[in-house]
Amino acid sequence: MLAAEPAKPVKKEPAPKRGRPAKPAAEKAPAKRGRPAAKPASGTAKTAAGNGKKSRAARKTPVRIIPLGGLHEVGKNITVYECGQDAFLVDCGMGFPDADMLGVDLVIPDFTYLEKNADKIRGIVITHGHEDHIGSIPYLLRKINVPIYGTKLAIGLIEGKLKEHGLLGKADLRVITPKQTVKMGCMSVEFIRVNHSIPDSVGVAIHTPAGVIVYTGDFKVDFSPIEGDIIDLARFAELGSKGVLCLLSDSTNAERPGSTMSESKVGQSFNTLFNRAEGKRIIVATFSSNIHRIQQIADNAMKYGRKVAVSGRSMINVVGKAMELGYLKVPDGLFIDIDAINRYPADKIVLITTGSQGEPLSALSRMASSDHRKVSVTPNDFIIISATPIPGNEKHVTRVVNDLLKLGAEVIYEKMYEVHVSGHACQDELKLILSLTKPKFFIPVHGEYKHLVAHAHLAQSVGIPPSNILIGDIGQVIQVDNVEMKVIGNVEAGGVFVDGLGVGDVGSIVIRDRKRLAQDGLIIIVATIEKETGACMAGPDIVSRGFVYVRESEELMEEARLLVKKALNQCLDSGIRDWTTMKNSIKDALSSFIYRKTKRSPMILPIMMEI
Amino acid sequence: MLAAEPAKPVKKEPAPKRGRPAKPAAEKAPAKRGRPAAKPASGTAKTAAGNGKKSRAARKTPVRIIPLGGLHEVGKNITVYECGQDAFLVDCGMGFPDADMLGVDLVIPDFTYLEKNADKIRGIVITHGHEDHIGSIPYLLRKINVPIYGTKLAIGLIEGKLKEHGLLGKADLRVITPKQTVKMGCMSVEFIRVNHSIPDSVGVAIHTPAGVIVYTGDFKVDFSPIEGDIIDLARFAELGSKGVLCLLSDSTNAERPGSTMSESKVGQSFNTLFNRAEGKRIIVATFSSNIHRIQQIADNAMKYGRKVAVSGRSMINVVGKAMELGYLKVPDGLFIDIDAINRYPADKIVLITTGSQGEPLSALSRMASSDHRKVSVTPNDFIIISATPIPGNEKHVTRVVNDLLKLGAEVIYEKMYEVHVSGHACQDELKLILSLTKPKFFIPVHGEYKHLVAHAHLAQSVGIPPSNILIGDIGQVIQVDNVEMKVIGNVEAGGVFVDGLGVGDVGSIVIRDRKRLAQDGLIIIVATIEKETGACMAGPDIVSRGFVYVRESEELMEEARLLVKKALNQCLDSGIRDWTTMKNSIKDALSSFIYRKTKRSPMILPIMMEI
């Protein structure tokens, strides 16, 4: 299916169009994250022509693709494209912390490589306005200020974000439209309409001296989108006919057979359910960024003579922005303030709220725990959770559903009706894009390793040879030219934790301590020692937190205190004044005692004061 | 469908057969867990005859059903049945901690009510050998020692468990078989064969002076079980024809339409996959208690000329017990020791292992992280995860799958093939049991609130009036007689945390502290104060753990120290010697400073020493 390029006589590499000297390789910083060579695809992918025998093709100026996030993970999408002395970014997203990243609010990419190469970076291209594609922009902007290109909605949402961070005046935001092309030094970026769960999403075709690189962005194929155009399949096909060097495509749903249902399907379900909810108030929880979903809720509200109110900070923000920019098309007076809902009969109201993932502080969670200042849930509520729990959120959602049911409400959740569709392409759509673009090389992106592997298998099934497929990792410098694709080095990459106002001040040691404290709590020992004599003037006292109920374990704690006292005295008696030694012998004695008695390992923290 | 009982003339309540005086109500201890009245079913369920007008039916001696676990939760199944002065337990399971029960190993029921009524308890009836039905037996046995009745396998597994706890000699274990009946004072318990994901599972029919109460246990309807009989539908039907007073039935899959597939379906998938795995080693991860699954793996291993080895502590234990008791039927020499696997070619081996839920310390997780002493995973491994992730475990399983794929293995997981079926009945099976037993009253059991509600809806759909369905809660005393079912009181019930050797010494305060420590860490302030003068002799020193990288936040910590010093001096200057006041002013000053600077709220722990 994919014929190898015909061999051509070797000639000198032409300089890129803008005339900058081509530098062969990216900076080779030490790799932060060592991973075994990706299988089943090899680290070095060559065409048949370049494989084994010496290549005779004219080598073009190579492009370097450096993913700094979005591989082996869901979220934190950010990729650098470099050619010669020019570079630009596609997306700049954030990640959500795993359950074991205790206390971490969000995870942003490691920007070290970008800071070192700031002078090369011509801009940032944004494919759509989801957090995992725009969420790290404020953090990067504080270090590097380059133009940011995105569609009107994405730029609108970025503006809101920058405003919160007090950075709005600083940024150079540029609105683009699909089919438009933007120059990035020797490369240029063409925007291509795609469908996704937020309006105005695009993929990109990156025109480089080495050839055309296509990145789908997050996408699905929706032949009946709620608003806007169908994904521009014709342009993907046209690029494919002319020759696509490399395709990077969204792997999120690569494990799912078939095609993703159209968003319009959800509207039909809403119609059925709104009909069934007659006489009751309707509450719908969904993602605030899914403006097409909100449009369909509004359309059905209108049909059934109901007013619409919104609850939840992000819902209020996004709905406001979407109305202002014309993405949400509703007649005047349909939307009312949440404070006004009680002026209407319950069956004349639809309330749209955040909290579809059961997030503990969200509006829906607060309603469920009777803790929402403005909305009390009763048996007269008909509640639709228009979302599927993201892996890891199942228990949160179940808790909210249980609590809402206990308040007597009728609740539609999970797979009970088709009240949610994914924003990502399933296997048939992925194969469609692969078949239309007919890339020489393929890099599956966006997803856990298992998703990338599944996508690689799909690519093989449509005829891309395994040697031309690369399962990459973040920090890898993937060099592509017309002959081969290979990993030529690594740059610093990883996740930087944001906790409150702190960026990067919580790292692996802090997290390790938090885990230990979470598991078994801690025991603190304090003693005041006289410098001269070594006499213990006060203490040792013992204080614990998160370990045991102190009142019920007085005996244990007193025994522990005496043990510490003994260990301390032994040190002092044998003339030990070195605090590290003293602390260690106290720690050793106490931790083995505690483990023997309780089979637990609390953190033990001896603090000595000297007077 | 369910006709009301014909009204009968009122006559004096007959004494129960054994002649003990009937005591009207259970002890009314204060309820530990206040929940709003369950909806849609009401707290008091009456028949049509008893509803509204004065009942004329002859009231029989009532039975009291007291669930101490298993409602509004998955796991920890345990229910007391009481009549007059007789009581017995059905099951005595444990629960797994939620993600927010930090450091807790397992959860057992609150036994307070049982301890207070120990003299009434005639025995414990076990429906099958899963942990959520037997796991708390060792903890209860230390308090109350009564005969334990169960099928051969359940008793075998209980023996193993008691041995680990050093309690084996103490227990009175009695093997029963289906169709057998055991006396429990004025009540008797009849065992009825059911199908489930562990062999030798039973439901029970409890014959009481008030009528027959049927409890299904965990069950499914499997018309082609791997071994043993099909669920005894005839007996359920016979009981139904004679009249069932109350049905308690398994709600785990009440949200799922249709019927659960037969276990034999999995064998067919194994056959296909074993065929496909030609030339490779096969590793299958599954639940150790699913002996029918293991039988099918062994059968296929035999067919394909492979030897079988097992890995993982619980797998080794259960397989050994199942062979000893004749539940696992395999020819001599088929099973080999794991140490012997390398003496055979890889394609002559099937390894059965624990870890199908991605449990971090399980054998499969250790193989995935190249940390297993005896098994190294390579591209020559074909790995089947024969299980579905239990809600909350999805991320763990994904991690294991990713790591196995990275080692180059082929991995079959989740819904890729039909390599797992549930052990619980889906909606059609639940309706079948409801239709066969035709109970007057119905109590859905086993499940989150949403499952109980879904099951209640199913019961309504087959004709049970909503007023005869009760969604109960743990600790409720549900009284049933021939006329009505109602909640007459509450007893102490809840979860007791087991952490290491400690039972109940970790409670809500300890967990709250662990959560806070996990979220933002802690800051400790120590100072030594001279009693007489109030002078600060040493300190204040500041120590933190799990808060920030100290080295990168030296300035912040020094600023904090000076702030504390100032607050302390202000106290001393204004003559304050009360330590609580001093500690509070230090805490207040520091916590607002820290929050302003970092938007975090670490635990702040001032420790004052007096000399």
Q: What is the pLDDT of residues A396-412, one digit of tens each?
A: 999 999 999 999 999 99
* 8 Å CB contact of B528 and A609: yes
Q: What is the mean pLDDT of residues A332-349?
A: 95
> How far is the CA of A306 from the CAs of A269, A283, A298, A303, in angstroms?
17, 12, 9, 8
- Using a CB-CB distance cutoff of 8 angstroms, which residues of chain B are in contact with residue A502? 548, 598, 600
Picking from A178, A134, A140, A132, the residue whose alpha carbon sits closest to that of residue A160 is A134
Angle (CA) B386-B389-B390 rounded to 5° is 125
The span from the CA of A211 to the CA of A205, in Å, is 10
- End residue of a domain, out of B378, B395, B416: B416
A405 and A515 inside one domain? no
Cβ A225 vs Cβ A263: under 8 Å: yes
Q: What's the pLDDT tens digit per position in B309-354?
A: 999 999 999 999 999 999 999 999 999 999 999 999 999 999 999 9
Q: Which of A395, A507, A514 sits opposite B518 (nearest CB)?
A: A514
Q: Which residue has the tokens 């901690």?
A: B97
pTM of the model: 0.86
Cβ-count burial of B502 within 10 angstroms (0-12 exposed, 13-18 middle, 19+ buried)? buried
- Residue A423 assigned as binding residue: yes
Statement: residue B53 has pLDDT above 50:
no
CB-based contact (8 Å) between A102 and chain B?
A: yes
Chain B: give the shortest CA distance to residue A490, in Å.
19
In a domain, A545, yes or no: yes
- End residue of a domain, out of A448, A464, A494: A494
Q: Which residue has the tokens 């406001």?
A: A320
In a domain, B36, yes or no: no
pLDDT score, position B49:
40
CB-based contact (8 Å) between A398 and chain B?
A: yes
A452 and A409 inside one domain? no
pLDDT score, position B108:
97
Angle (CA) A459-A464-A465 rounded to 5° is 120
pLDDT score, position A227:
84
Q: How confident is the model at residue A57 (pLDDT cuts 50, 70, 90)?
A: low
Chain B: give the shortest CA distance to residue A241, in Å.
34
CATH (domain of A524): 3.10.20.580
CB-based contact (8 Å) between B258 and chain A?
A: no
B218 and B148 inside one domain? yes
Q: Which residue has the tokens 């093939």?
A: B417
Judged by DSSP in three states, B251 sits in: coil
Surface of B (36-65) touching A: CB under 8 A: 36, 38-40
B455 and B563 inside one domain? no
State which residue of chain B sits closest to A540, comparing Cα positions: B609
Q: What's the pLDDT tens digit per position in B165-186?
A: 999 989 999 999 999 999 999 9
Q: What is the mean pLDDT of residues A158-178?
A: 95
Cβ B594 vs Cβ B522: under 8 Å: no
* 8 Å CB contact of A507 and B255: no
CB-based contact (8 Å) between A538 and chain B?
A: yes
- Using a CB-CB distance cutoff of 8 angstroms, which residues of chain A are in contact with residue B611? 528, 537-538, 611
A471 and A585 inside one domain? no
Statement: residue A14 has pLDDT above 60:
no
CATH (domain of A324): 3.40.50.10710
- Using a CB-CB distance cutoff of 8 angstroms, which residues of chain A are in contact with residue B552? 505
Half-sphere exposure of A229 (CA within 13 A, CB side): 13
In a domain, B4, yes or no: no
Q: Which of B103, B449, B546 sits opposite A405 (nearest CB)?
A: B449
Q: How confident is the model at residue B550 (pLDDT cuts 50, 70, 90)?
A: low
* 8 Å CB contact of B549 and A506: yes
State which residue of chain B sits closest to A257, comparing Cα positions: B416
State which residue of chain A sits closest to B71, comparing Cα positions: A402
State which residue of chain B sits closest to A508, comparing Cα positions: B549
A451 counts as catalytic: no
B488 and B513 inside one domain? no
Statement: residue A41 has pLDDT above 50:
no
CB neighbours of B107 closer than 8 A, spacing ≥ 6? B75, B76, B94, B95, B96, B97, B101, B495, B496, B497, B498
The span from the CA of A83 to the CA of A16, in Å, is 8
Picking from A510, A576, A592, B509, the residue whose alpha carbon sits closest to that of residue A604 is A592
**What H or E segment, with its residue span, contains residue B129?**
none
Chain B: give the shortest CA distance to residue A180, in Å.
39
- Using a CB-CB distance cutoff of 8 angstroms, which residues of chain A are in contact with residue B513? 521, 545-546
DSSP string, A160-221: HHHHHTT-GGG--EEE--TT-EEEETTEEEEEEEEB-SSSSEEEEEEEETTEEEEE--S-B-
Judged by DSSP in three states, B87 sits in: strand
Q: Which residues of B are catalytic?
A: 250, 424
A131 and A220 inside one domain? yes
In a domain, B21, yes or no: no
Q: Taking CB atoms and an 8 Å cut-off, how many pairs form between chains A and B?
A: 217
* 8 Å CB contact of A102 and B553: no
* 8 Å CB contact of B526 and A526: yes
Q: How confident is the model at residue A550 (pLDDT cuts 50, 70, 90)?
A: low
A269 and A254 inside one domain? no
Cβ B144 vs Cβ B151: under 8 Å: no
Handedness of CA B568, B571, B574, B577 (dihedral sign): negative
Chain B: give the shortest CA distance to residue A390, in Å.
10
Picking from B180, B234, B230, B177, the residue whose alpha carbon sits closest to that of residue B207 is B180
CATH (domain of B487): 3.60.15.10
* DSSP class of B469: B
- End residue of a domain, out of B454, B474, B499: B499
Chain B: give the shortest CA distance to residue A244, in Å.
28
- Residue A289 assigned as binding residue: yes
Q: What is the mean pLDDT of residues B280-285?
A: 98
In a domain, A528, yes or no: yes
Q: How confident is the model at residue A569 (pLDDT cuts 50, 70, 90)?
A: confident
In a domain, B558, yes or no: yes
Q: How confident is the model at residue A33 (pLDDT cuts 50, 70, 90)?
A: very low
Higher pLDDT, A300 or A229: A300
**What ipTM does this complex have?**
0.85
Q: What is the mean pLDDT of residues B444-449?
A: 96
- Pick the most confident of A308-312, A594-598, B418-422: A308-312
Q: Which of A448, A506, A545 sits opposite B605 (nearest CB)?
A: A545
Q: Which of A35, A506, A517 sits opposite B545 (nearest CB)?
A: A517
* 8 Å CB contact of A500 and B599: yes
* 8 Å CB contact of B597 and A36: no
* DSSP class of B95: B
**What H or E segment, with its residue span, contains residue B81?**
strand B78-83
Residues making up the annotated binding site of B are 103, 105, 128, 130, 132-133, 196, 218, 288-290, 420-424, 446, 499
Q: How confident is the model at residue A276 (pLDDT cuts 50, 70, 90)?
A: very high
* DSSP class of B82: E
Q: How confident is the model at residue A100 (pLDDT cuts 50, 70, 90)?
A: confident
- Which of B104, B510, B605 would you mutate first to test chain A, the one with the most A CBs within 10 A? B510
Catalytic residue among A250, A473, A481, A520: A250
A580: domain range?
508-610
How many Cβ atoms from other residues are within 10 Å of residue A374's Cβ?
15
CB-based contact (8 Å) between B502 and chain A?
A: yes
Q: What's the pLDDT tens digit per position in B392-431?
A: 888 899 999 999 999 999 999 977 788 999 999 999 999 9
pLDDT score, position B416:
76
The mean pLDDT of chain A is: 89
Q: What's the pLDDT tens digit per position in B459-516?
A: 999 999 999 999 999 999 999 999 999 999 999 999 999 988 888 888 888 999 999 9
B492 and B603 inside one domain? no
The mean pLDDT of chain B is: 89
In a domain, A9, yes or no: no
* 8 Å CB contact of B414 and A255: yes
The span from the CA of A193 to the CA of A201, in Å, is 6
- Using a CB-CB distance cutoff of 8 angstroms, which residues of chain B are in contact with residue A453? 405
State which residue of chain B sits closest to A98, comparing Cα positions: B395
Statement: residue A586 has pLDDT above 70:
yes
B397 and B269 inside one domain? yes
- Residue A446 assigned as binding residue: yes
Chain A: give the shortest CA distance to residue B59, in Å.
32
A193 and A337 inside one domain? no
Angle (CA) B219-B222-B223 rounded to 5° is 150
The span from the CA of B567 to the CA of B583, in Å, is 10
Share of chain B above pLDDT 90, in %: 75
* 8 Å CB contact of B517 and A609: no
A445 and A570 inside one domain? no
Number of structural domains in chain B: 3
Q: What's the pLDDT tens digit per position in B217-266?
A: 999 999 999 888 899 999 999 999 999 999 999 999 999 999 999 999 99
CB-based contact (8 Å) between B360 and chain A?
A: no
In a domain, B483, yes or no: yes
The DSSP bridge pattern shows strands A307-311 and A281-285 to be unpaired
- Which of A35, A394, A403, A405 would you mutate first to test chain B, the one with the most B CBs within 10 A? A405
